[in-house]
Structure 1
Amino acid sequence: MDNDQDEVFTTRGLTRLYRMGEVTIRALQGVDLALYRGELAVMLGASGSGKSTLLNILGGLDSPSDGEVHYRDRAGQVHDLTRATQRQLTRFRRHHVGFVFQFYNLISSLTARENVAIVTDISHDPMPPEAALALVGLAERLDHFPSQLSGGEQQRVAIARAVAKQPDVLLCDEPTGALDFRTGIRVLEVLEHVNRETGTTVAIITHNEVIGEMADRIIRLRDGRVDEIHANARRRPPGELRW
């Protein structure tokens, strides 16, 4: 995976500072990193290690204080996200990136199908909501409201909503953080399935070391820096994970 053409994201010297009164917090300190097309990467680190900040910058939700972020689309065109305008970042998020967060952010008055359709209605070449929900194993729950779904099912609707626009990259921030072990495994199985079946690059950030066993690569962050990158010889299926 060392071919530049396979790089979806490349960062160089990525730094993010937050100022809180007299105090400066160094969330990221010179991060050099690449994410590759079609891989499943897990970013591990304790709270405060910088992993959420890094994910937000990659997804165009935040901007670095210094350094560069480049994104290569499927056509091979490279986009400099560091110098992008807010309008360009909005277009980037809308058409190229899917987000999955710890909390599902579903609209309670809409069915599963309608929650997914919110995204497909504004996308260039979306997957039908029904196909996206079938991909995450919810073909029989299309017309259920969030209150009629379990926490794991709601998270799978959130994943369906993210993948329905057929993004190049799926960025997941603690996607199992609010779930019990069994339900979390099911959600991880869905993310692995999306990665395998659609070729979408999937990046998962978590503090849970065991989840790293299902990744192509483990990227370990500590104190705002990349501490270690480790390639797995064999991805372990989520059903084999134990924590």
Structure 2
Amino acid sequence: MSAAPPSANAVFVARGLTKVYHMGEVEVQALRGIDLTLERGELVVLLGPSGSGKSTLLNILGGLDVPSGGEVYYLDHKLTGASEADLTRFRREHVGFVFQFYNLIPSLTARENVAAVTEISPSPMRPEDALALVGLGNRLDHFPAQLSGGEQQRVAIARAIAKNPAVLLCDEPTGALDSATGVVVLEVLEKVNRELGTLTVLITHNAGIADMADRVIRLSDGHIVDIRSNAVKKAARELSW
């Protein structure tokens, strides 16, 4: 991978990102020229309606998708133009993903679900430590079917952070949860961001969640329409939606 111009605190730098999907004869422009810098230790909320480009942007940052145009740098590495093997290594070593649906393996316990990731990571946490961090130290040997939705999402977060990623990318992590359970999950993400210093990017269409972020980036129709910093962040337990 080729080097990018250095920037002291930048984890991701995106310049002129575009993404066009071809569906038969129809072209869908998902991103229309995104310029963005995300910095170490930030908790960032990407806010916007369905179809605004949030998930496409997150997937490009995480190396799950590639842009149609523009450039993305991760630290001093250029992701655009990287080989599939390089992107796979980038995802494995540097990025944790949390999705709306937990994607746990039903036949494995909480500990085993987390261990499935730590076994292929270069400098992982112990699965027990990751589960303790998300408040599930007493549920190590429970199977997903024995856990509530919120507990399953916390196992998914433990799995994502157990490889000690520099970046945690979360796509609607509370989307399948009621608000009380959602707040518990957000408290876990807040704790991970604070204690591990992990750059955390959280997609939501829920404006109430934006109050816990350092910065809120609002997308509409493939454009960034607003970036604001919260002078005072709310704790997750103070949020309501």
The TM tier, using the shorter chain, reads over 0.9
Question: Per-residue deviation at 1:22?
Answer: 1.6
Match of 1:138 among 113, 136, 151: 136
> What are structure 2's unaligned runs of at least 5 residues?
1-5
Q: Which residue number corresponds to residue 168 of structure 1?
A: 166
Which residue is 1:44 aligned to? 47
Counterpart of 1:208 in structure 2 is: 206
Q: State the Cα deviation string for residues 181-214 of structure 1 (Å, max 9, x = none).
A: 1000000000000000000000000000010000
Q: Does the alignment pair 1:102 with 2:92?
A: no
Matches within 5 A, 1:168-187: 168-187=166-185
Q: Determine which of 210, 226, 229 is the counterpart of 2:227.
A: 229
1:242 CA displacement = 1.1
Partner of 1:25: 28
Match of 2:38 in 1: 35
| Aligned partner of residue 114 in structure 2, secondary structure | helix
Cα shift at 1:4:
2.2
Normalised TM-score (structure 2): 0.97
Residue deviations 1:20-53, cap 9 Å, x none? 1221100000000011100000000000000000
Partner amino acid for 2:40?
A: R
TM-score, length basis structure 1? 0.96
Cα RMSD of the aligned pairs, angstroms, is: 0.7
1:57 aligns with 2:60: yes
Amino acid in structure 1 at the alignment position of 2:22: R
Q: Identify which of 131, 152, 155 aligns with 2:153.
A: 155
3-state SS in 1 of match to 2:65: coil
Percent identity, aligned pairs only, is 69
Corresponding residue number in structure 1 for 2:3: none
Residue among 213, 216, 219 paired with 1:218: 216
Secondary structure at 1:94's aligned position in 2? helix
Runs of 4+ in 1 over 6 A off after TM superposition: none
Aligned residue in 2 for 1:75: none
Q: Which amino acid aligns with 1:228?
A: D
Residue 83 of structure 1: SS of its match in structure 2?
A: coil
What is the rounded CA distance, in whole Å, between the counterparts of 2:141 and 2:133 in structure 1?
A: 16
> 1:23 & 1:110 partners in 2: Cα distance?
42
| Count of residues in Structure 1 that have an aligned counterpart in Structure 2 | 236
